[in-house]
Structure 1
């Protein structure tokens, strides 16, 4: 790994952390700005194309329902193992495992397959495909 790739690796890890925390906090603009203008978020049930559409999706009501007992609901994504492979000086493919906690405890887990593109000094997500591997029986998403 070159010194430049080592710097890029840390920059990419920071981008993924910002995206994760902005998503959990429903900071829509901060989340959408982690993507390229033509970025794609490929969910299992739909594909959202373009930063403006990603922003609109994040501004919509959360897909995570609030608990029936009135207690505040939350989800918290925790990024774990991350492998970054560079292809040239302007692209990287990243696979990152994640765990999600909620009021239920460990709620679900999976991984992201991301393609990032370097634009100036910034590394932005050009394509993200999250995949869920497991749900807890009482997951907030399995109502």
Structure 2
């Protein structure tokens, strides 16, 4: 069917669960849960800077959201939706994943892009060792660009 071993099928689902947990924790601003998705030495490479280590990622997540609410509108929400992903294993303890995402807010579709993640298996857990999000498009009314 896919040429994956039984272990790789199991690991693929564990990776998808990790990426989902990270997305939901980020949207809910659950800093500890978000940071726990990364390895202790994990890296989050943002367009405006790089965060190195779980502690630095945790500190960043504890800061106010980068999604600014417009004072003239009703407070809204930010919801990331993961779409297609491709998982490539480079051994029993490493995988690279490219996942596309869409972000909705109270204004509708706000922006979209993709993550390039490197995950590392530590025991039975797959954790993000490196994440590089890239945004491809912004709506004219994007809360991120306001």
Report the TM-score, using the length of structure 1 for normalisation.
0.98
Alignment of 1:12-51 (within 5 A): 12-51=15-54
Query: 1:134: which partner in 2?
Result: 137
Q: Which runs of 4+ in 1 moved over 6 A?
A: none
Alignment of 1:17-96 (within 5 A): 17-69=20-72, 71-96=74-99
Partners of 1:72 and 1:136 in 2: CA distance: 18
CA contact (8 A) 1:67 1:73 kept: no
Determine if the alignment matches structure 1 residue 105 to structure 2 residue 108: yes
CA contact (8 A) 1:65 1:73 kept: no
Question: Alpha carbon RMSD of aligned pairs, Å?
Answer: 0.7
**Unmatched 5+ residue regions in structure 2?**
none
- Cα deviation code 1:87-111 (max 9, x no counterpart): 0100000000000000110000000
**Unmatched 5+ residue regions in structure 1?**
none
Partners of 1:67 and 1:142 in 2: CA distance: 11
Residues matched between the structures, number? 143
